[in-house]
Amino acid sequence: MADTERHPFLQGLSKHRGAPPTVVVIFGASGDLTARKLIPAIYNLSFDNLLPADFHLVGYGRKPIPDEEFRGIAAAAVKEFSRREMDPEVWKRVAANTTYVSGGYDEKAGFDRLAAHIKDIEKGVGSEVQSLFYISTPPSVFFPIIQNLGASGLGGRYLGKPHHSKVIIEKPFGKDLDSAKALNAELRSVFQENQVYRIDHYLGKETVQDLLVQRFANSIFEPIWNRNYIDSVQITVAEDQGVGTRAGYYEQSGCLRDMIQNHTTQLLALTAMEPPGSFEAEALRDEKVKLLKAIEPVALGPDPDMARAQYAAGMIGGKKVPGYLEEKGIAPNSSTETYAALRLSINNWRWQGVPFYLRSGKRLPRRVSEIAIQFKRPPGTIFPQKEGFNLAANTLSFQIQPDEGLSLILNAKVPGLDTRTQPVKMSFRYATTFGSNTPEAYERLVLDAMIGDGTLFIRGDEAETSWALYTPVLNFWQSQGRKGVESYSAGAWGPEGGDQLLTSRGHVWRQP
């Protein structure tokens, strides 16, 4: 049975958006992200007939791997991580044009071999081919890869034509404002801005994109999407996992860099930005930058706008787990935060006086990402605040993951002869309306990069504006060492300081 027969809401959706003949080169081809996300994304794009007829996948890495072995590694990744079971015919199409080139990231000779390999692909295709370079490596080799893409001529292929070369660069995009500026400068020395795709996979999630549709395609929301009707906004990005095997990375990062500066702030920007003049990439990104520039500096004290903490030993899913300082590879005197919360104020006409609360952390009770818009209570009510009259603030929440959808809390009368009220929830879920096999974020983003649509990617000035907001907080925390680092039990929703950010303004955190 066709998808549109099972789910009539899918009728009329486009199956192809015109990607030109393309070779995708993945730097870091043996890495975890490549196996878990990138190769399954390419497989599923092929499954949906969204790859161009002339599509080639090239892995690049330091370790010499024969083509056949790399194809086997890729097939194993599809079998383990794809949202669909492997279809032998679909995989055969992908595998037929999957190859591997070995070389160092800091040696031009390897990039010259890659350039010759791409030329050979073009000879076989019989036409010019777009090159999309995906940098899926540790940040330590971002610079040499960019430099060698320039030195080998790969970065400037077909400049000025629609199928010019492009580069996708994974997070973290810098570690503070100065490093983000330096990385942008290096990129601009090789690529033009319209060739660069700074990826944040949260922007590829269905519910994040639906946020734009809900805001700008439904007239019931726009008149009340402002300080006159909205009391506060909460954005939560929670993980139930600990640091795991990422201790080396996480000690250099921490929650503010790892989750707040990118994912959580992107959700804030889309929630609060002004309507763009059109659904064009630059129009939308202009509005996000204007919104980020309107956020007031984070107060560091005496009434701080932020809190930080580390998880201590506790219970997750009925199992005892160690605290952060007890994890393998973590220094016993570490001040790296595993939880961060902020109270932000936006200095513009729409949002003046509305607090935006952001929090993210590890070892919280469950994995969930949510945007909650809490509306103001009616100025007066005919329903007394007493037993039998349970009234809640109207709240519109967008569930980003894992159960994608949205819900609205309303107050309703309880059936019966007495007049009693209680909150009720109206919910929409993607799984029940459109089917559960929702495309992964990386599928959308890889396809968008191939066709040259930068709408869901981060522009250079946007990255710098975000870092400008958070770098003073990072510098302050570094100067304080462990002073001010709170503790919370694994399985709790965070420390007292995170709660105090809200209670001091008459609010409390939602439990999503």
* Domains in the chain, CATH or no CATH each: 3-170 (3.40.50.720), 203-433+459-503 (3.30.360.10)
Other Cβ atoms less than 10 A from the Cβ of 218: the count is: 9
Per-residue pLDDT at 3 exceeds 70: no
State how far the Cα of 371 lies from the Cα of 457, in Å rounded to an integer. Answer: 20
Per-residue pLDDT at 12 exceeds 50: no
pLDDT at 389: 72
Q: Compute the average pLDDT of residues 147-155.
A: 97
Q: Which two tokens stand for residue 335?
A: 């001040």
State how far the Cα of 25 lies from the Cα of 110, in Å rounded to an integer. Answer: 13
pLDDT at 197: 97
Per-residue pLDDT at 470 exceeds 70: yes
Nearest to 265 by CA among 365, 164, 342: 342
Per-residue pLDDT at 386 exceeds 70: no
State how far the Cα of 111 lies from the Cα of 117, in Å rounded to an integer. Answer: 10
Mean pLDDT of the chain: 92
Nearest to 377 by CA among 497, 230, 195, 201: 230
Nearest to 448 by CA among 146, 54, 132, 74: 132
Q: Dump pLDDT digits (tens) for 411-435.
A: 888 898 887 888 899 998 888 888 7
Per-residue pLDDT at 8 exceeds 90: no
Q: Which two tokens stand for residue 258?
A: 């790892």
Nearest to 23 by CA among 110, 109, 119: 119
Residue 227: pLDDT band with limits 50, 70, 90: very high
- Give the C-alpha distances (Å, rounded to integers) separating 183 from 235, 472, 479: 28, 19, 25
Nearest to 22 by CA among 47, 48, 49, 58: 58
Residue 1: pLDDT band with limits 50, 70, 90: very low
- Say which residue, 270 or 246, is predicted with more confidence: 270
State how far the Cα of 486 lies from the Cα of 496, in Å rounded to an integer. Answer: 8
Q: Which two tokens stand for residue 415?
A: 């059936």
Q: Dump pLDDT digits (tens) for 159-206.
A: 989 899 999 999 889 999 999 999 999 999 999 999 999 999 999 988
Per-residue pLDDT at 14 exceeds 50: no
pLDDT at 385: 67
Q: Dump pLDDT digits (tens) for 323-332.
A: 999 999 999 9
- Give the C-alpha distances (Å, rounded to integers) separating 363 from 269, 324, 327, 511: 26, 9, 12, 15
Per-residue pLDDT at 7 exceeds 50: no
State how far the Cα of 223 lies from the Cα of 137, in Å rounded to an integer. Answer: 45
Other Cβ atoms less than 10 A from the Cβ of 500: the count is: 15
Cα end-to-end distance, the chain, whole Å: 36
Ramachandran bin of 273, using left for φ above 0, alpha for ψ from -120 to 50, beta for the remaining angles: beta
Residue 255: alpha-carbon gap to chain centroid? 14
For the purposes of burial, counting CB atoms within 10 Å of the CB of 489, is it exposed (0-12), middle (13-18) or buried (19 or more)? middle
Per-residue pLDDT at 437 exceeds 80: no
List 56, 163, 263, 507, catalytic entry: 263
Three-state helix/strand/coil letters over 3-40: HHHHCHHHCCCCCCCCCCCEEEEEECCCCHHHHHHHHH
Q: DSSP labels for 420-489?
A: -EEEEEEEEEHHHHH-S-PPPHHHHHHHHHHHT--TTSB-HHHHHHHHHHHHHHHHHHHHHTTTTEEEEE
Identify whether 263 is a catalytic site residue: yes
Q: Compute the average pLDDT of residues 445-453.
A: 94
pLDDT at 248: 86
Q: Compute the average pLDDT of residues 262-275.
A: 96
Per-residue pLDDT at 2 exceeds 80: no
Sign for the CA dihedral angle at 246, 252, 256, 261 comes to negative
Strand partners, 132: 24, 166
Radius of gyration of the chain (CA): 24
Q: Compute the average pLDDT of residues 53-76.
A: 96
Of 97-111, 284-298, 430-444, the one with minimum mean pLDDT is 430-444
Planar angle of CA 506, 265, 228, nearest 5 degrees: 45
Bond into 172 cis (ω within 30): yes
Q: Dump pLDDT digits (tens) for 491-502.
A: 999 999 999 999
Strands (E) across 170-283 are located at 196-198, 230-238
Per-residue pLDDT at 277 exceeds 60: yes
3-state DSSP: the chain helix, strand, coil percent, rounded to 5?
40, 20, 40
Per-residue pLDDT at 380 exceeds 80: no
pLDDT at 206: 85
Q: Which two tokens stand for residue 303?
A: 């009434």
